[in-house]
Amino acid sequence: MKREINLVVNKRTYPLTVELNRTLLEVLRDTLDLTGTKFGCGAGKCGACTVLIDGKPMLSCLMLAVSAEGKAITTIEGLSDGDKLHPLQEAFVEHGSIQCGYCIPGMIMNASAFLAENPEPTEEEVRKAISGNLCRCTGYVKPVEAIMAVAEQMRKKS
């Protein structure tokens, strides 16, 4: 059974006809070709599918696409400004925080919202904040360093 909906993704409105039982993750990747958001577990445990819904990190694999109508959806593609990377993206590159890369979009989306809420976190708070983004490669060392570095950058600017 299908429904016509409008999805607002990265400030752009997409009129779509979707099956009621499709997840937001499926529609983002397969219909909208926004493949930055990843399918990791499909069960809400790994965080690879993390997107921002009205600025809050949520799991797109656990949302029906039809439920996301009327919300402002931000994916990793929406974080960069054209070719200009978001400070978190730059920091992850600089600090060597990316190995296979699969967990990274979700982790960066989560971290971006976290830093907006808590601009002066301790390392413990950062680790706790990204506990919903599982990484099999890095052991979290460099990602945490990168997030702390961006927090420091933000603190210096203000």
Partner 1 sequence: MLAEYGKEARILAGGTDLLPLMRDRALTPKYIIEITRVPGLDYIDVSNGQSGIKIGALVTLGSVELSEIIKNRFPLIPEAAHLMATRQVRNMATIAGNICRASPSADMVPPLLVLQAEIKIANNRGTRVVPCGEFFTGPGTTILNGSEMVTEIRIPELPLGCGTSFLRATRTQSDLAQVNAASVVMIKDGICEEVRIALGGVAPTAIRLRKAEEALKGKRIEGEALENAAELAAGEIRPISDVRATAEYRMELSKVLVKHVLETSVGRAERRQR
Report the interface residues with partner 1, using CB under 8 A: 20, 23, 42-45, 47, 50, 53, 56-59, 61-64, 66-67, 110, 114, 129, 131-132
Least distance (Å) between residue 1 CB and partner 1: 11
Least distance (Å) between residue 8 CB and partner 1: 16
Nearer to partner 1, 23 or 74 (CB): 23
Rounded Cα distance between 102 and 100, Å, is: 6
Nearer to partner 1, 24 or 150 (CB): 24
Least distance (Å) between residue 88 CB and partner 1: 16
Looking from the CA of 6 toward its CB, the CA atoms found within 13 Å total 7
The DSSP line for 17-85 is EEETT-BHHHIIIIIS--TTS--S-SSSSS-TTEEEETTEEEEGGGSBGGGGTTSEEE-GGGTSBTTBP
Nearer to partner 1, 10 or 110 (CB): 110
